[in-house]
Amino acid sequence: AQSVTQLDSHVSVSEGTPVLLRCNYSSSYSPSLFWYVQHPNKGLQLLLKYTSAATLVKGINGFEAEFKKSETSFHLTKPSAHMSDAAEYFCVVSIAGTASKLTFGTGTRLQVTL
């Protein structure tokens, strides 16, 4: 079975400060890992994905994540938060050969304050 645990349900940062959203995964096989973002009244959008190539993955809007097998983690970071980053973020795992079926975490709501 595969699963992801998002360690924080809510994170608040000031604009211009770093962002860290934590995710741990559990998988019996080599996983593909994703981060999706969900803005209010908008569809889920892919931020970045890890599929067994480089362990440091760069995504859109300045986000990046590092796959650490020894820690079973895939934390999402951004050096400097922007007000437009306020949204719900989902860490997602998928197993090769499962036709891209996704298992989502419970989400982390990112709040960005002035």
Partner 1 sequence: DTGVSQDPRHKITKRGQNVTFRCDPISEHNRLYWYRQTLGQGPEFLTYFQNEAQLEKSRLLSDRFSAERPKGSFSTLEIQRTEQGDSAMYLCASSPHSFDGGNTEAFFGQGTRLTVV
Q: Which of 109, 86, 81, 110 is nearest to 15 (CA)?
A: 81
Q: Which stretch binds partner 1 (CB under 8 A): 56-64, 67-75, 78-86, 90-98?
A: 90-98
- Residues linked to residue 49 through DSSP beta bridges, in sequence order: 34
27-86 residues in contact with partner 1 (CB under 8 A) are 32, 36, 41-46, 49, 51
| Cβ at position 33, least distance to partner 1 in Å | 10
Q: With H, G, I as helix, E, B as strand and everything else as coil, classify residue 24.
A: strand
Of the residues 25, 35, 67, 90, which one makes contact with partner 1 according to CB under 8 A? 90
Least distance from partner 1 to the Cβ atom of residue 8, Å = 14
**Do 11 and 111 touch, CB atoms closer than 8 A?**
yes
Size of the site for partner 1 (CB under 8 A): 26
**Exposure letters 74-113 (e unless 16+ CB within 10 A, then b):** bbbebeebeeebbbbbbbbbbbeeeeeebbebebbebebe
Q: Which is nearer to partner 1, 15 or 27 (CB)?
A: 27
List contacts with partner 1 (CB under 8 A): 32, 36, 41-46, 49, 51, 90, 92, 94-107
